[in-house]
């Protein structure tokens, strides 16, 4: 299986560098696009960037979107045929609403202590909310992967999603997530995706803190 691994709003594609070899050891490969940092771009622009990274002619690709990139994930199948969508500790867009509307209407989504924080500029914030469950050496490396993806327009616009794609979806939540709240993830996976979330120990970035466990969970989706 090939995975397309899509980073969130506070890391670049190198944040997957520990997960990729773990997947390769299980017989899978991956592409890791770097998404643009364009505050004026619509969610469709980000979805195009993801679709462009998927090799033509491959229909076995599972697209994994971390954190804020869940906003773009269900737009990808209208651009490129894919095998499965995986929301990894990610937001899920709601048809007819913007992400900001969702946050305002459902305060269970985000940890209120996380809102307004900038882990790209503040290493202590990054340690506290993103990399708290990493070993010291891994956490120090993870700090080098930080990069802001300010997709402001995509977050304030009404979601361009009009119909949910007919593609299998999986949600992986992190029990110790300090950003997106696990209880919201459980509820949203059932309501919006029609599935029970898979649960993984640790914090918001399991591709950094526990890549082997995450690789095994992802590989198991093919069985």
pLDDT digit string, tens, across residues 122-132: 999 999 999 99
pLDDT above 60 (res 51): yes
Q: Is 112 exposed, middle or buried (0-12, 13-18, 19+ CB in 10 A)?
A: exposed
The mean pLDDT value of the chain amounts to 96
Rg (CA), the chain: 16
pLDDT over 70 at 121, yes or no: yes
Q: What is the pLDDT of residue 111?
A: 97
Residue 163 has pLDDT above 90, yes or no: yes
Q: What would the mean pLDDT of 49-58 be, rounded to a whole number? A: 91
Domain boundaries, the chain: 2-220
Q: State mean pLDDT over 160-189.
A: 97
pLDDT in tens, 55-92: 888 778 999 999 999 999 999 999 999 999 999 999 99
**Average pLDDT, stretch 191-199?**
97
Is CATH 3.40.50.1820 correct for 2-220? yes
pLDDT confidence band for 152 (50 / 70 / 90): very high
pLDDT at 55 (0 to 100):
87
- The percentage of residues in the chain with a pLDDT greater than 70, rounded to a whole number, is 100
Is pLDDT above 60 for 223?
Answer: no
Residues 108 and 59: their CA atoms lie apart, in Å, by: 36
Residue located via tokens 């998404």 = 35
pLDDT reported for residue 142 = 98
Assess whether pLDDT exceeds 80 at residue 210: yes
Give the mean model confidence (pLDDT) for residues 17-23: 98
Question: What's residue 105's pLDDT?
Answer: 95
């Amino acid at each position: 299986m090939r995975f397309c691994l899509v980073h969130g709003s506070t890391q670049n594609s190198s944040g997957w560098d520990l997960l990729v070899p773990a997947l390769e050891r299980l017989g899978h490969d991956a592409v890791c696009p770097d998404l643009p940092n364009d505050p004026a771009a619509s969610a469709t622009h980000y979805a195009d960037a993801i679709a462009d990274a998927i090799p033509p002619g491959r229909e076995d690709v599972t697209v994994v979107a971390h954190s804020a990139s869940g906003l773009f994930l269900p737009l990808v199948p209208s651009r490129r045929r894919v095998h499965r969508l995986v929301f990894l500790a990610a937001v899920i867009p709601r048809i007819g609403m913007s992400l900001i509307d969702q946050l305002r209407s459902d305060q269970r989504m985000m940890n209120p202590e996380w809102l307004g924080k900038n882990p790209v500029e503040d290493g202590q914030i990054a340690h506290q909310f993103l990399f708290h469950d990493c070993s010291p050496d891994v956490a120090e490396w993870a700090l080098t992967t930080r990069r802001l993806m300010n997709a402001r327009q995509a977050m304030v616009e009404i979601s361009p999603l009009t119909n949910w794609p007919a593609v299998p979806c999986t949600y992986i939540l992190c029990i110790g997530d300090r950003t997106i709240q696990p209880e919201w993830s459980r509820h949203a996976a059932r309501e919006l995706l029609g599935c029970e979330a898979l649960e993984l120990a640790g914090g918001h970035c399991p591709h950094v803190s526990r890549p082997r466990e995450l690789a095994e969970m992802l590989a198991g989706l093919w069985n």
